[in-house]
Structure 1
Amino acid sequence: MVNELISELNTRGVNFIKTVDISMLSAKENRGYSAAILIGIVLSPCYIFRLSKENILDYSEFSEKEHSTDKLAEWTADFIIAKGYKAFAQSERNLGLHGFYDETTKTTPLPHKKIAILAGVGWIGKNNLLVTEEYGSALCMCSILTNAPLPTENRPIIMPKCGECTVCKDICSAGAIHGSTWEIGMNRDLIVDVYHCNGCLKCLSNCPWTQKYINNNSSE
């Protein structure tokens, strides 16, 4: 089942797939599921280049790939259910329909980022986004919770590699980024003021790790 699922998702445009054991998490977080699948689609270097160098506000590719990861997560859940197991896609639509998104605090019980951290994909940056060595923050993610007996690949938690960099804080016109370095168990509000974030994507596109991704793939 796993190889078939990975092959199908790759064919449908998914760039990376990770499976992690979430049985050690609280019941509120894992909701009785033992494993989580994380899928990610990478934003193109040319799109990120335009966002950062031309100083434009363009949600086109970001919105498209956010929607794609959501739909592929729902497709994955259906695929697993058809194999006789339980699964729940943590798409924006599903989280809202089932009451797992708190509009007041703008939180969910188990964010995609936490699953990514458990998988060792990256770390939480000062922009409160997942930052990876390969793509920076230029990626869209969604996750699926399941009881299917999947081989899991939990990795040690990667602590932030932002150092003294404050690019995201300095470029945030809304003043929503505090410049704090993430630590395990840290309250999100100490890192970013989500209530005043205007979603301009500047902190995503101008992160030096994202810029490194652009430079390494400038021919694409």
Structure 2
Amino acid sequence: MSELISALNRRGVNFIKTVDISMLSVKENRGYSVAILIGIVLSEGYIFRLSKGNIADHSEFGGKEHLVNELADWTADFIITKGYKAFAQSEKNLLNGFYDETTKTTPLPHKKIAILAGLGWIGKSNLLVTKQYGSALCMCTILTNAPLPIENRSIIMPKCGECTVCKDICPTGAIHGSTWEPGMNRDSIVNVYHCNGCLKCLVNCPWTQKYIDNNIDKQNECRKG
């Protein structure tokens, strides 16, 4: 595992989580017992420009989404060379029969694995929200039977409180403002058919803004030092 972590870190991955998914249905876990979640964080400068400049720029988001998908494929190949089975839930693989275009769903979303890992919670935007990065991250997952150490944690309930920033800023009215609960239907939170992918909910979430502020403060301290 340490060899894999080092290789992924060198390639730009910011965090790696491994969770037990053996308790899930076969439709979800495809017969695999472990899921690996890898994530790449969006830069604070990029988020700052999007939120303060009110501009539409998918360059970094699109680039890191592409990279994390490629690295998921690479990870699966790496595990296979070690004699185990693995399936990368990358975009190209999910589109090959594992993505329902009608409902815009997959059997096992990356967010569900992130929830099992205790990484964050589902916000009112239906995005994963974390204490450390807000929603400023791109994720992908790999399913495997490799005997890896697992990191399942208690489910973190939403910490959005009465905040409705994502709902209020959504230009298409796709976000309903509902607070997520385990087992809740996605459609009760957001109308994915009305979402135009503008990223405004992602960059303007107070938790994402806190990520920006914390990093800017650290940079200023380094300059003073």
Whether TM exceeds 0.5 here: the answer is: yes
Sequence identity, in percent? Answer: 82
Measure, in 1, the Cα distance between the counterparts of 2:91 and 2:172.
Answer: 25
How far the C-alpha of 1:65 sits from its partner, in A, is 0.2
Correspondence list, 1:60-99, <5 A: 60-97=59-96, 99=97
- Cα offset for 1:82? 0.4
* Secondary structure of residue in 1 paired with 2:71: helix
Letter in 2 for 1:100: F
What amino acid maps onto 1:82 in structure 2?
Answer: T
Instruction: Map 1:35-184 onto structure 2 (within 5 A).
Output: 35-97=34-96, 99-184=97-182
- Deviation per CA, 1:31-81: give whole Å up to 9, x if none: 100000000000000000011000000000000000000000000000000
Aligned position for 1:3: 2
SS at match of 2:6: helix
Question: Which amino acid in 2 is paired with 1:93?
Answer: K
Superposed structure 1 runs of 4+ greater than 2 Å apart? none
Amino acid corresponding to residue 53 of structure 1 in structure 2: K
Task: Provide the rounded CA distance (Å) in 2 between the counterparts of 1:46 and 1:4.
Answer: 31
Partners in 2 of 1:202 and 1:51 — Cα distance? 8
**How much is the aligned-residue C-alpha RMSD, in angstroms?**
0.7
> Offset at 1:201?
0.1
Give the structure-1-normalised TM-score. Answer: 0.98
- Structure 1 residue identity aligned to 2:134: G
In 2, the alpha carbon distance for the partners of 1:106 and 1:172 equals 19
How far 1:85 moved relative to its partner? 0.4
The one-letter code of the counterpart of 1:41 is I
Q: Distance in 1 between matches of 2:81 and 2:91?
A: 22
Q: Distance in 1 between matches of 2:157 and 2:27?
A: 25
Cα distance in 2, alignment partners of residues 195 and 87 from structure 1: 32
Structure 1: gaps of 5 or more residues: none
| Pair 1:26-2:25 in alignment | yes
Match of 2:193 among 188, 192, 195: 195
Q: TM-score, normalised by structure 2?
A: 0.96
Which residue of structure 1 aligns with residue 223 of structure 2? none
| Residue-pair matches, total | 218
1:192 Cα offset (Å): 0.2
CA deviation profile, 1:116-168 (whole Å, cap 9, x unmatched): 00000000000000000000000000000000011101000000000000000
| DSSP-derived class of the 1:217 partner | helix
Please state whether the residue corresponding to 1:141 is helix, strand or coil: strand
Measure the CA separation in 1 of the matches of 2:102 and 2:13.
32
